[in-house]
Structure 1
Amino acid sequence: MSKVVLITGGSSGIGKSIGEFLKEKGYIVYGTSRSPEKYADSKFPILALDVKDEATITNTVNTIIDKEGKLDIVVNNAGAGITGPIEETPNDEIKNNFDTNFFGPINVIKAVLPQMRKQNSGLIINVTSIAGYMGLPYRGIYSASKGALELLTEAFRMEIKDFGIYMTNVAPGDFATNIAAGRYHAPLLDDSPYKKPYGDTLELMNNHVDNGSDPDMMAKAVYKIINTKNPKVHYKVGEFMQKFSIVLKRILPDKVYEKLLMNHYKL
């Protein structure tokens, strides 16, 4: 029987690429969006779900289980970007980012675990970020929310292993998606002491996304993980130097690594 896959944030970008790739491989795929009516032409069903609204999560998960009788794979892909000097980023926006990038996946995981435990099988893939392995200037909140999800997965997978359920992280680097358009940007204030360095860094970040890798690279990585008998704890997907930056952080003295980052961002 074909495996049933739920992909949060499956209407565009990485989520859409994963969904289309898996559907071509014979999987039964469901994606989600807060506004599913906008995606009537999707190649797989898009259901209404907001990771910050537990009622919508429960409703969508139950809808899939009622129709398919099972739920084999969940890809926690829904997320939000945020940039800005931490000092000038409103607390409401910081909380909103954590609600989406950290508490959102927790809400989804809690909703699907009872069914997976009943099946004595399941795979949960949390899409994090290479940015979650390091505190990046003017992306500190994003780095922190994705880093928190990485650590959460490490703990969670040990707690659920007795139930035949696997969990893993996939950390993408920069991909050519529309994430920058939906990202919260702390405004560039004329009287801000951060105006020039933040403005320069913001431009550099947007260029990285515009010139990022093809999202199909992530789709193929997820497909490979699904077909791995015992997935690893962490996977990194992206250009060599982006992945190598994690290795450098592990082996270099902290201040040397910090200097490399500051040189990269011209700070």
Structure 2
Amino acid sequence: MSKVVLITGGSSGIGKSIGEFLTDKGFEVYGTSRSPEKYSNNKFSIVGLDVTKPESIKNAVNHIIEKAGKIDVLINNAGVGITGPIEEIPEAEIKNNFETNFFGPINVIKAVLPQMRKQQSGLIINVTSIAGYMGLPYRGIYSASKGALELLTEAFRMELKPFNIKMTNVAPGDFATNIAAGRYHAPVLDNSPYKETYGKSLELMNEHVDAGKDPLEMAKAILAIINTSNPKVHYKVGEFMQKFSIVLKRILPDTVYEKMLMNHYKL
């Protein structure tokens, strides 16, 4: 029997690339979207699911178990970007980001765990971000939500070891997807003290995404993890310098690293 894979946020970007690649490799793939009716001609099945609504998560997971009989792999990929000066981002937008990027994955994990325990096997892959390893200017909320998921995974995987359920993080760098169009941008306000620096940083962020790597590289990394008997705690996928920035954070004094980031973002 082929392995059954559930990918949240599987209708576009990295999630879609992973889903198509795994389908071609013989996996039975179920992606999710808040509007599944838009994807009737998709290469793999798209199930209705909103990660901010626990009842929607429960219904989608139950539907897949009824149809496929099991869930072997969960890929927590659904997420949203957010940019802006922390002082100026509305509290509702901050909470929404954590609902999607942090609480959503937790609730999807909770929904699949009873089935994986029943199977006495399972793999959960949390898609985080290289931005989650450091507090980036004007991306602080995004860094915080993805960093929280990184730490959660470290704790969760130890709790799940007795049940033969494995968990890991995959932190991508910049990939050429539509994430920039879908994320919340705090507006660049004319009367804002951050107008000049935030405006420049926003342009730089969008350039990085537009020049990002092919999402197929992420799909290949996910397949390699699925085929690994004992996945590592953390994986990083992206440009060398983006991955190397994590190493630099570990070895450089904090103030030196901070200055390096400020120079990069022209602050």
Please tell me the residue identity of whatever aligns with 2:68. Answer: E
**CA distance in 1 between partners of 2:123 and 2:263 (Å):** 40
**CA distance in 1 between partners of 2:10 and 2:69 (Å):** 21
Please tell me the residue identity of whatever aligns with 1:210. Answer: D
SS of residue paired to 2:169: strand
- 1:63-99 Cα distance to aligned partner (Å, 9 max, x none): 1111111110000000000000000000000000000
2:107 alignment counterpart: 107
2:50 alignment counterpart: 50
**CA distance in 1 between partners of 2:262 and 2:41 (Å):** 44
2:60 alignment counterpart: 60
**CA distance in 1 between partners of 2:69 and 2:188 (Å):** 50
1:249 alignment counterpart: 249
Please tell me the residue identity of whatever aligns with 2:200. Answer: D
**CA distance in 2 between partners of 1:200 and 1:62 (Å):** 46
2:202 alignment counterpart: 202
Please tell me the residue identity of whatever aligns with 2:170. Answer: V
1:32 is the counterpart of 2:36:
no
- 1:196-245 Cα distance to aligned partner (Å, 9 max, x none): 00000000000000000000000000000000000000000000000000
SS of residue paired to 2:87: helix
User: 1:152 Cα deviation (Å)?
Assistant: 0.1
Please tell me the residue identity of whatever aligns with 1:22. Answer: L
Q: Which runs of 5+ in 2 are unaligned?
A: none
Q: Structure 2 length as normaliser, TM-score?
A: 1.00
**CA distance in 1 between partners of 2:221 and 2:12 (Å):** 17
**CA distance in 2 between partners of 1:122 and 1:208 (Å):** 35
2:135 alignment counterpart: 135
Q: How does 1:66-77 map to 2 (within 5 A)?
A: 66-77=66-77
**CA distance in 2 between partners of 1:103 and 1:207 (Å):** 29
1:214 alignment counterpart: 214
Q: How does 1:147-166 map to 2 (within 5 A)?
A: 147-166=147-166
User: 1:37 Cα deviation (Å)?
Assistant: 1.1
1:91 is the counterpart of 2:91:
yes
SS of residue paired to 1:32: strand
Please tell me the residue identity of whatever aligns with 2:211. Answer: N
- 4+ residue runs over 2 A deviation: none
Percent identity (aligned): 81
**CA distance in 1 between partners of 2:252 and 2:218 (Å):** 28
User: 1:174 Cα deviation (Å)?
Assistant: 0.1
**CA distance in 1 between partners of 2:224 and 2:262 (Å):** 35
1:22 alignment counterpart: 22
For this pair of structures, how many residues does the alignment match? 267
1:125 is the counterpart of 2:125:
yes
Please tell me the residue identity of whatever aligns with 1:106. Answer: I
- 1:147-182 Cα distance to aligned partner (Å, 9 max, x none): 000000000000011001000000000000000000
**CA distance in 2 between partners of 1:147 and 1:54 (Å):** 22
SS of residue paired to 1:87: coil
Please tell me the residue identity of whatever aligns with 1:201. Answer: S
1:184 alignment counterpart: 184
User: 1:41 Cα deviation (Å)?
Assistant: 1.8
SS of residue paired to 2:106: helix
**CA distance in 2 between partners of 1:81 and 1:122 (Å):** 28
**CA distance in 2 between partners of 1:6 and 1:193 (Å):** 44
Q: Which moved more, 1:137-146 or 1:62-71?
A: 62-71
Please tell me the residue identity of whatever aligns with 1:24. Answer: D
Q: Which moved more, 1:141-150 or 1:36-45?
A: 36-45
Please tell me the residue identity of whatever aligns with 2:265. Answer: Y
- 1:242-267 Cα distance to aligned partner (Å, 9 max, x none): 00000000000000000000000000
**CA distance in 1 between partners of 2:91 and 2:200 (Å):** 23
SS of residue paired to 2:214: coil
2:170 alignment counterpart: 170
Q: Which moved more, 1:38-47 or 1:16-25?
A: 38-47
